[in-house]
Amino acid sequence: MEIKPENVCHIIFRTRQLSAIEAMYETGENVETDAEELMEDVEAGRVIHEEREHDPTYYEIKGFIDELSRDDQCELIALVWLGRGDSNMSDWDDLVALAKERWSKHTAEYLLAMPLLGDYLQDALDQFDISCEDFEDEHG
């Protein structure tokens, strides 16, 4: 795996934050978040658009993925497929090759459309014996 684990962990942390924010809006529960502006939106009764049209967290993650190199984006896709159980570690090189064949400029949208993106990435990192605990303080 060539993509930096801290980049994958950043995406995991941010997608989990995004999920928590969405849960907060859906249930009305007070979920802790660093996004003070979003808390103001909750108090004012505003909601996140279904397609995340005005969600700064979504756009931050999308921008982060878009800024990754094409090779890193392909490895990110392969990690998702690995974590989702589409294949196993012995097929890693084939997964990366397939991701390179299927890559498009819409990689971020493809990945962010997956409700379990963070879980898939975490499951894949677990298979590489990589923990995000070392990077948790940076995103935390």
In a domain, 140, yes or no: no
Residue 20: what residue type? A
Q: What is the pLDDT of residues 6-50, one digit of tens each?
A: 999 999 999 887 765 555 445 444 444 434 454 454 444 443 334
Of 48, 75, 65, nearest in space to 10 by CA = 65
So what's the pLDDT on residue 12? 93
- CA dist 122 and 131 (Å) reads 8
Q: What is the mean pLDDT of residues 107-135?
A: 90
In a domain, 116, yes or no: yes
So what's the pLDDT on residue 52? 56
pLDDT exceeds 80 at position 109: yes
So what's the pLDDT on residue 56? 81
So what's the pLDDT on residue 59? 87
Q: Which two tokens stand for residue 35?
A: 């996004």
Q: Taking the model in full, what pTM does it have?
A: 0.75
- CA dist 41 and 119 (Å) reads 27
Cβ pair 80, 119 in contact under 8 A = no
In a domain, 139, yes or no: no
Q: What is the mean pLDDT of residues 51-60?
A: 71
In a domain, 52, yes or no: yes
Q: Which domain holds residue 100?
A: 5-133
Residue 69, phi then psi, degrees to nearest 5: -65, 160
Non-local (6+) Cβ contacts of 26 within 8 A are none
User: CA–CA distance from 79 to each of 13, 25, 48, 99, 140 (Å)?
Assistant: 16, 29, 28, 10, 22
Mean pLDDT score across all residues of the chain: 79
DSSP designation for 52: -
Counting the structural domains of the chain, the total is 1
